[in-house]
Every structure is written in C-alpha cells, then in structure tokens.
Amino acid sequence: MRGMNANHASAANPSDPPEEGQAANAPSPTFSPLYRQIKALITQSLESGEWKPGEIIPSEVELAARYKVSQGTVRKAIDELAADNLLVRRQGKGTFVATHNEERAQFRFLRLLADDGAEHPHVSRLLECRRLRAPAEIARQLELKPADPVVQIRRLLEFDGATTVFDEIWLPGGTFRGLTFERLSEYKGPLYAMFEAEFGTRMIRASEKIRAVAAESPVAGLLGVPAGFPLLSVERVSYTYGDRPVEVRRGWYVTTGYYYQNDLS
C-alpha cells in the first residue's frame, strides 16, 4: 500500500464548489479511520491464505513498515482482529492466525454448558452426508440459485454418553466438493477445523435464532426422548470472510442438565 497516511482520510474543503454534475447538497464521502484500513488489508491477507490458520503473522514493526504507517496504528488494527477472533496474541511468542483446532474456538460456536458451568467434551456420531439440490429456503439463506447443489449432513452429539444434540447442516456444494460420508467419518477433529484445513473455508461469525419447541416424532426418536418433549431449537447461519454465508445449521438440543450460554458485548 503506497503512501498511505492520515491525510488520505481528510474530506474535501466544504467551501469548495461542487464538481460538475454533483448536486450542491450531496453528502460528502465518508472515510474509515486509518487503523480500519489496515485491518481490512490484514483481513485480505488472511482471506487469500498468505498466512495460514495457526501460523504466526509478521510483527507489528514489520507490518508498520509494509503498510507505511505507525506501529500504534497496526497495533490497534490487530487488537480489533483479535477481538473478532481472527487473530490470537500469545504472550512472548507473537500474534497467530486463529484456528478452529484450538479448544477455545470449538466452544465459541457450541455454546452448550453443563449445569455446573463446565465445557464437557462431546462425541459426534455421523448419520448421513449426501449431495442434493438446495431446497428454496436453504438456497436463499446460502445466497445460492434455486436447486444449486448443496451438501446435507445429519449427526448426533453425545455429552457424557447421553445423546444431547441433533444437527442438520447444509453447505454449498461448490465450496465443499469432495465432502463425503467416508471423508467425514475418517476425520477425528472438530467439523469446523476440517472445513478450514481441507476446504479452505473458515467460519468467522454466525447469526442464530433460538426458540423452545416440542419434539416432533422423528427428532424425538433420534434424541431418545418422547414426542412433545421440550427442546431448544437453534438455527444458525455461519459466515466466512466477506460476510459470505457458507453454512446453515439447524440443531435440536436436550437441555436437561445443560443450558445455552451466549456472551453479549
């Protein structure tokens, strides 16, 4: 980025006459603070794969030289990226690209806690993985064309030996070419870590809708509860870089002995 400095963020003099074809009362263009511009450039490097998940990124001094800005500006950009869970600072070691392989990242998207507040490990049991044409609502949520190919995954999660969650997951077929039941069955790590490592797709953020529902017979049978049993329904749309939706997930949770925690800021 050549010659970037704070002067680039200054608006035109209000007393200057409007340019030809520009209305006199047209709003002035808005500019983002310099550190936000640096944040966007670092994010572009993350998205392009210049620095892979788990890798250390250049130091603040090196990035300041690269972008021709102060070290403080870089630090502020990195602070925001760390708050967004895209980067991780490690005392005395440097700043690293966040990865879904880290335990803290796994529980960032799975918010089910035991009544004692502990994060209990879980076991995933895969039921199905198939390719099909996107139903209309799934296509809309994933911003696909009607009947575009999607991958549907159905699985159960067991906590402390008890079946607790039934997940129905939808992914864009073009992004997840080659994802099969066999491939999923062989992978032993977290699902999002697989998407990140093998398909180059990192989940950055998610939007969720939560409601209480009565278990319908098919779901009740999978979870081992009677029909009509109270469940927590969680519908999530997950996004990667550029706010692009790459997953729709519908989950049904048995909350006997568990609760769903979400930290707001």
Q: Where in the chain is the domain with CATH 1.10.10.10?
A: 6-97
Decide if pLDDT at 254 tops 70: yes
- Residues 36-73 have pLDDT tens digits of 999 999 999 988 889 988 899 999 999 999 999 999 99
Class of the CATH-defined domain 6-97: mainly alpha
For residue 105, which of 39, 188, 193, 167 has the smallest C-alpha distance? 193
- Residues 161-215 have pLDDT tens digits of 899 999 999 999 999 999 999 999 999 888 998 999 899 999 988 999 999 999 9
Residue 213: predicted pLDDT:
97
- Residues 209-240 have pLDDT tens digits of 999 999 999 999 999 999 999 999 999 999 99
* Burial (Cβ within 10 Å: 0-12, 13-18, ≥19) of residue 104: exposed
**Confidence class of residue 17 from pLDDT cuts 50, 70 and 90?**
very low
Three-state secondary-structure class, residue 209 = strand
Three-state secondary-structure class, residue 218 = helix
Q: Where in the chain is the domain with CATH 3.40.1410.10?
A: 103-260
Cα-based torsion angle of the residue sequence 130, 109, 203, 143 in order, rounded to the nearest 10 degrees: 60
Q: What is the DSSP string of 167-181?
A: EEEEEETTTTTT--H
Decide if pLDDT at 135 tops 50: yes
- Say which CATH superfamily domain 103-260 falls into: Chorismate lyase-like (3.40.1410.10)
Cα 69 to Cα 76: distance, rounded to the nearest angstrom: 12
Least confident of 90-104, 124-138, 207-221, 247-261: 90-104
Pick 231 or 102 by higher pLDDT: 231
Highest mean pLDDT among 35-44, 84-93, 121-130, 167-176: 167-176
